Amino acid sequence: MLRKLIIGRTITPRHAVRKLWNEAAARKACRANGEQSFICSTEDTIGRRNLTLAEHYSVAARSQNKTRRRGKDLPWTIELAKGMKVLVTDNVETDLDVTNGARGEIVDIVLHPDEPPITNDPIVKLKYLPSYILVKLSRTRVSKLSGLEDSVIPVEPRISSMQIKVKTDRGKTVTRTVTRKQ
């Protein structure tokens, strides 16, 4: 698989290698711990409705555009598992040490109430994003939350927005705001 990613003869994009490395490490850890891996896809909406095919295309084309906010867009899919190591990549709450670079581990995944019953397969693709995940941080000043162990915090799906341009049926180009939940 890695051979397909080689550009020229000797250069491999580091991001692509890291992504594959992380996926392989996560699945290996799941097998070793007997845990399931959950694949979660983004929920893109405009207002309260799902995107049309043309709008999906505009979102996909936007991610290939050089002018997009590099590194700020949320990924299309994310893989989660109990026991998975996590790294905070944004300053969430600096006073409590929930900051960029903080490390932790997923201790539980609380599925969406409408999620159909899951199978015992090692890799499960979820229909809905989890309601939240519980993460035990290695080092934090968070007070003990009722019903949770020390240093365990709930993490809800993140929401971001982006602008896309779409042609209407009449040929006019309009700008729409897409809300991405991941």
CA distance 90 to 74: 12
The answer to whether residue 92 is domain-embedded is yes
Cα separation, 133 vs 135, in Å, equals 6
Residue 154 domain flag:
yes
The Cα angle at residue 81 between residues 129 and 24, in degrees rounded to 5? 115
Nearest to 79 by CA among 111, 15, 123: 123
Structure tokens at 84: 């998975």
Is 146 inside a domain boundary?
A: yes
> In whole numbers, what is the pLDDT of the chain averaged over residues?
82
Answer whether residue 93 is part of any domain.
yes
For residue 159, being part of any structural domain is answered with yes
**Domains contained in the chain, number:** 1
| pTM (2 d.p.) | 0.77
Most confident of 39-43, 65-69, 93-97: 39-43
In a domain, 112, yes or no: yes
- Bigger pLDDT: 80 or 9? 80
Spatial contact of 96 and 142, defined as CB atoms under 8 Å apart: yes
**What pLDDT score does 113 carry?**
95
Which domain, by its residues, includes 60? Answer: 6-181
Full DSSP string of 49-87: EEPPHHHHHHHHHHHH-TTS-TTTSPPSEEEE-TT-EEE
| Mean pLDDT, residues 104-127 | 93
Residue 1 lies in a domain: no
Tell me the pairing of strands 37-41 and 123-125: parallel
